[in-house]
Structure 1
Amino acid sequence: MNVQVNPAEMKIDFGGPYVMSIGGKLVGSNETFEVYNPATGGVVANAPAGTREQMEEAIAAAKAAQPAWAALSFKERGAYIEAYADALEANKEDIITLLTTEQGKPRHSMATVEVDAAIYWVREVAKRELKNEVIEDTEDHVVEVAHTPLGVVGAITPWNFPILLGLWKIAPCLLTGNTMVMKPSPYTPLGTLRFGEIAQQIFPEGVLNIVSGGNEQGQWMTEHPDISKISFTGSTATGKKVMASSASNLKRITLELGGNDPAILLPETDYEPLIPVLFDAAYGNAGQWCIATKRLYVHSSQQKQFVDAFVAYASTKTVGDGMDPNTDIGPIQNTMQYNKLRSLFADTKDKGYNIRLGGEIDESLDGNFVPITVVDNPPEDSRVVQEEPFGPILPIIAYDDVDDVIEKANDTEFGLAASVWGPDRDEAIEVGKQIEAGTVWVNEIHIHGIDIPFGGHKQSGMGVENGREGLEEFTNTKTYMFKK
């Protein structure tokens, strides 16, 4: 199958009203809600608030479309998905601008990287396939293992990477023969509504449905008997509610949740060239990502010098409006998270911790701006060390003993990711093997790939995304046995 796309015909009107995608149709709602620009506090647009009836229509449309979609081969479904990547590419610049406007991240850096990565992901996932595996073939017996679609998948996406994480779910879900109903975060629904609108020009009706609205929609999805799986990215607290609600019909679930990711610099590490990398790892997207470095442990023999150098570098960075090309770090996306950070900053100041940079939030500004903040060697039981801040604040903590720092790194309910840095690669790998996390980077960080599984341990999640394992998450394992 060859799905032809003329890029000139794939451009959509980004200035028009925002609409949902239900059963191949673009529909509005009598009820709307306001979406804000976090850099200005101004209203960007009104998004449709889907009703319970519209959610039911979307799920019914996905259910009706699924058998015919599943009947296609991987290559046939992949052709549709590749065409979708072409259509997204044709609208890329508008998507990037919209992402910055509703999410806040700098357009010239993080927003462009996110959209480029998302389109690349869609295009590459389209080339994958799950093939049947023959595990026994004797003179009188054959055993074959297949992976069959689950049916209708409900996807609930977050506000920190709404484009990338939305398309991370769509591409493998559709490739494996499922259909989808997606609910974007009410803080950042606009880009998702637009890429849903683009999808209606490519996919058969009902294959991909986008319904925007409030948090109550998540419960409608998790409780619905016609949804076979929930793929959720968000906080651990909400993930627990998703898991409990999904038990009504034993839905399959993939939960990508929070983290309190440590980075460990081993003794005698040449840290100077690493400072820009570690800065980006902690403060990229204003610290609003689950895999951000949130605790940085440096051996006491180097900690003071490291903090001095790190603060000097961080002081050169600018917090501002993401549409300004001089901005390095954008605003906090929403007032809920902004207020959580206000509380954390107040606690850090009230406890008298050594704040080497930042620390004071200027609440007179129109946007949700939070300064780049470095806390020098706070106690291990402090909030800034124990909590996931999801903002631009980093504790840099001294340690003396490697075994002790491994214990401290693991002393958390989270287990999403970690990094270890050191001059002796073998030693760093051995330390990394002792870290309780789903992903551990050694002398690098934030490397992802289409074929690299990603998921959390402990209360950082359940299941994985990406890789063969990520594709299999959207399927049932089915065993065929044949007597010859």
Structure 2
Amino acid sequence: MEFERDFTMTIGGLGVAGATTFPVVNPATEAVIAQAPDCSRGQLDEAVAAARAAFPAWRARPVDERRQYLHAISARLFENLDGLKRLLTLEQGKPFGDAEFEVGGAGMFVQGTATLTIPETVNEDSAERRSITRHVPIGVVGAISPWNFPVILAFFKVGPALLAGNTVILKPSPFTPLTTLKIGELLRDVLPPGVLNIVSGGDQLGPWITEHPGIDKVSFTGSTATGKRVMQSAAGNLKRVTLELGGNDAAIVLPDVDVNKVAPDLFWAAFRNNGQICIASKRMYIHKDVYEPLKEAIVDYAKTVKVGDGSEQGTQIGPVQNQQQYRRVLELIEDSKQSGHKFLLGGDALEGPGYFVPVTILDNPPEESRIVREEQFGPILPLLKVDSVEEAVARANASDYGLGGSVWSADPDKALAIGEQLETGTVWINETQHLTPLAPFGGHKQSGVGTENGVDGLLEYTNVQTVVVRKA
């Protein structure tokens, strides 16, 4: 279905207009496509009050009932997949196929989350006493989602928070609020009022949420710099926090790979979603014995990939999502030019409207250069030559980030032994970016605090409670 272009927040199960509005821009055309509601501080207070009022009854529902609500959320997403994907492409820029994968993936993740079980541990069951540790909901959760995957990353938070018995206030990025607001509208007759509230706003809304005394936990996905501010702000009332932050993931390529077979996989490991993925391969350490032929194969493949408006047939990579990030990507490219780095492909912004940057690949820039040390979050990839596996591991680990990493080899066992040396939350062998609602995902070092997904991620939305019964 096609959606009309009016957007309201969801507070206490009702559609609520913003105190004011702000424009939302299509990054492929730079045209304003809609006005989104701008939540006032008073309206946020109303959302918190609605969530707090709904919490006792939601917490009291049997967990199997809450599972059924999650399945109903998933069904509603799938029922409206076509309209939601088109709206997502308009505001985010990604091609229709990628947008469909994201919305459908959100539905699948909610289904998968519904299968998880909150554990209960018997610590002691003696003649004298029985001691049990259980997990209870925290209360009201503030969920803050980013602009690169605004739908699926929102439901990484909403699904487990609701299953654990919490109520939620969800805030999408001001760059991509529309699809999330529309989902809120679609779910108003699915969930009890106040269980899921969705508010949108500018830069001031995030800090209002993280410092609000009526919110008990914040789950945030975004940059490491912003994550540090979230953690600092949440300290006011010792909110629980989950922070899924930046990454500078390294891919290590061994000399035994089949060059022609692995080149497309390595390309998409770096450039899927236009490189705007926290777990994209942002540094590629290639063994010297295979560096030259693999470099050529990756560049040759890159030349076949179509960059353009996500709504146009055949587009495989869309624009950079917003002007702020677009300028940062161009700044990194300019820094490499000024530093004399060799470009194998790309290097200049495309002409015309839209935040388009061509696929850009660099040839072995220095390890200390910005393009290697910083997270690009755009369509730029440095290829880096190493003399040994040991050198690759050392260089991969010499980073403040530790989100994910990958190892590529014809020998999976050898690759696994190398991968286990990486200081990251997730290691992939011969693939990247595979996530599942059944396995925990989180970062080491400055890539985050806590985990999402799996039982570990579910328990992030609970407090531990030990109950001790003295027997007669």
**TM-score of the two chains, using structure 1 as the length reference:** 0.96
Q: Of the candidates 116, 131, 140, which is equivalent to residue 128 of structure 1?
A: 116
* Matched AA of 1:95: L
Distance 1:338 1:422 in 2: 34
* Matched AA of 2:413: D
Q: Aligned residue for 1:75?
A: 64
Contact 1:75–1:127 under 8 Å retained in 2: no
Q: Aligned residue for 1:420?
A: 407
- Are 1:54 and 2:29 matched, yes or no? no
* Superposed displacement of residue 301, structure 1: 1.1
Q: Of the candidates 330, 339, 358, which is equivalent to residue 346 of structure 2?
A: 358
Contact 1:157–1:232 under 8 Å retained in 2: yes
- Are 1:258 and 2:279 matched, yes or no? no
Distance 2:89 2:250 in 1: 28
Q: Aligned residue for 1:442?
A: 429
Q: Aligned residue for 1:236?
A: 224
Contact 1:102–1:188 under 8 Å retained in 2: yes
Q: Could you report, residue by residue, the CA deviation over 1:237-268 in whole angstroms, capped at 9, with x for unpaired residues?
A: 00000000000011100000000000001122
- Are 1:165 and 2:153 matched, yes or no? yes
Distance 1:425 1:284 in 2: 24
**Size of the alignment, in residue pairs?**
471
Distance 2:430 2:317 in 1: 24
Q: Could you report, residue by residue, the CA deviation over 1:83-141 in whole angstroms, capped at 9, with x for unpaired residues?
A: 1211121111100000100000000x211111111111112212322132213212222
Judged with a 3 Å threshold, the aligned counterparts in structure 2 of structure 1 residues 101 and 16 are, in CA distance, closer, same or farther, namely closer
Task: Output the aligned Cα RMSD.
Answer: 1.1
Q: Aligned residue for 2:26?
A: 37
* Matched AA of 1:343: E
Distance 2:215 2:83 in 1: 32
Comparing 146-155 with 430-439, greater Cα deviation is found at 430-439
Judged with a 3 Å threshold, the aligned counterparts in structure 2 of structure 1 residues 157 and 263 are, in CA distance, closer, same or farther, namely same
Distance 1:122 1:130 in 2: 16
Long gaps (5+) in structure 1: 1-10
Contact 1:384–1:395 under 8 Å retained in 2: yes
Distance 2:464 2:218 in 1: 17
Q: Aligned residue for 1:348?
A: 336
Contact 2:77–2:103 under 8 Å retained in 1: no
Distance 1:69 1:194 in 2: 23
Q: Aligned residue for 2:130?
A: 142
Distance 1:389 1:99 in 2: 23
* Matched AA of 1:50: C
- Are 1:318 and 2:277 matched, yes or no? no
Q: Aligned residue for 2:465?
A: 478
Q: Aligned residue for 2:85?
A: 96
Specify the SS of the correspondent of 2:159. helix
- Are 1:86 and 2:75 matched, yes or no? yes
* Matched AA of 2:27: P
- Are 1:390 and 2:377 matched, yes or no? yes
Specify the SS of the correspondent of 1:436. coil
* Superposed displacement of residue 224, structure 1: 1.0
Judged with a 3 Å threshold, the aligned counterparts in structure 2 of structure 1 residues 210 and 269 are, in CA distance, closer, same or farther, namely same
Q: Aligned residue for 1:8?
A: none
Contact 2:77–2:104 under 8 Å retained in 1: no
Comparing 349-358 with 468-477, greater Cα deviation is found at 349-358
Q: Aligned residue for 1:405?
A: 392
Q: Could you report, residue by residue, the CA deviation over 1:304-337 in whole angstroms, capped at 9, with x for unpaired residues?
A: 1110111011110111000112111000000000
* Superposed displacement of residue 428, structure 1: 1.4
Q: Aligned residue for 2:356?
A: 369
Specify the SS of the correspondent of 2:446. helix
Specify the SS of the correspondent of 1:302. helix
Contact 2:5–2:34 under 8 Å retained in 1: no
* Matched AA of 1:360: D
- Are 1:204 and 2:192 matched, yes or no? yes
* Matched AA of 2:285: Y
- Are 1:380 and 2:389 matched, yes or no? no
Specify the SS of the correspondent of 2:131. strand
% same residue: 50
Q: Of the candidates 281, 288, 291, which is equivalent to residue 300 of structure 1?
A: 288
Specify the SS of the correspondent of 1:336. helix
Contact 2:113–2:454 under 8 Å retained in 1: no
Q: Could you report, residue by residue, the CA deviation over 1:58-102 in whole angstroms, capped at 9, with x for unpaired residues?
A: 001001100100000110111112112111211111000001000
* Matched AA of 1:57: E
Q: Could you report, residue by residue, the CA deviation over 1:163-222 in whole angstroms, capped at 9, with x for unpaired residues?
A: 100111111100100000111100000001011111211111100001100121111111
* Superposed displacement of residue 157, structure 1: 0.6
Distance 2:364 2:224 in 1: 27
Distance 2:122 2:19 in 1: 54
Long gaps (5+) in structure 2: none
